[in-house]
Amino acid sequence: MKGAYNGVLQTQIDRNGGAIAFIDDYTAWVCGPTAQCNRKGIQAIIDKVLDWEKRSAAIFEAEKTAIIHFTRYTGRVESEPFTIKGEKVSPKDQVKVLGVIMDSCLHYKQHIARAATRGLEDAMELKRLKGMAPSTTRQLFTAMVAPVVDYASNVWMHACKTASAYAIHQVQRVGAQAVIGSFISVATGVAEAESYIATIHERFWRRASKPWVDIHTLPQTNPSETSYEGSKLFGASYLLLDALQTQRSS
């Protein structure tokens, strides 16, 4: 499988597009001013994958294929379907890429709602456990509840505002109540401080800073080092790291 993926993944990631894969999930993309301009590039990717299927004796399932156009301008939306192995595949409003629900406008509302719902369910289960020491409950919250909410938060944290943030704060409140047994009326910030659990902002910033540090500390011999050198892709991360340092010093 690894050798086969090496054949289909011989695509350089740049401003025009790229491709990634994890186990049996293959994701490719093209960038352009309009969906019509991208259509030729998407069709080329489909033809390349089908050719790889023939050469590698693998099975490419058209019914599991999803196509989406990312744009925040309704005038650029394209609904014309693609034909893959005789089946019509129409562009969708949202797709799941490695566990992250991505909508066409990249607002991540569906993913944040799903993460908050799953996190709240786990926090409620934790709250039902009785007779444990606060330190044990805190460890369980950090190990079992927080990762459910924080998964890929460095991708969608910028969209976690107002109503979405309130849903995440509900998870924090229930988790803090499970740790210290506080009343329901206690403010979330107070409960977090008393239970000594990290706030969502602290966890999000910590998770966002880690890939930035990992990328910028790659050895010169790493092939990815040349890809990021001189790129403006991570320019906003410098501001992120400065904000993190300011938050720690305050």
pLDDT of the residue at 95: 92
Residues 200, 223, single domain; the answer is no
The number of folded domains in the chain is 3
Is there a single domain that holds both residue 232 and residue 145?
no
Q: Do 55 and 71 reside in the same domain of the chain?
A: yes
- Contact (Cβ atoms closer than 8 angstroms) between residue 148 and residue 199: no
Q: In terms of domains, do 55 and 19 share one?
A: yes
Residue 228 has a pLDDT of 58
Q: Is residue 104 part of a domain?
A: no
Determine the pLDDT at residue 232: 44
Q: Is residue 174 part of a domain?
A: yes
pLDDT of residue 16: 84
- Confidence (pLDDT) at 225: 64
Contacts of 24 (CB under 8 A, 6+ apart): 1
In 57-161, which residue ranges form alpha helices assigned H by DSSP?
A: 109-128, 134-140, 146-150, 153-156
* CA nearest neighbour of 238 among 219, 206, 216, 207: 216
Q: Provide the residue range defining the domain that includes 35.
A: 2-98
Residues in the chain, pLDDT under 70: 1-10, 223-250
**Looking at 98, 124, 141, which one is the last position of a domain?**
98
- Supply the pLDDT for residue 24: 76
At 194, phi and psi to the nearest 5? -70, -35
d(CA 173, CA 165): 12
Per the domain annotation, does 103 fall within a domain? no
Mark whether 54 and 135 lie in a shared domain.
no
Burial of 186 (0-12, 13-18, 19+ CB in 10 A): middle
pLDDT of residue 3: 37
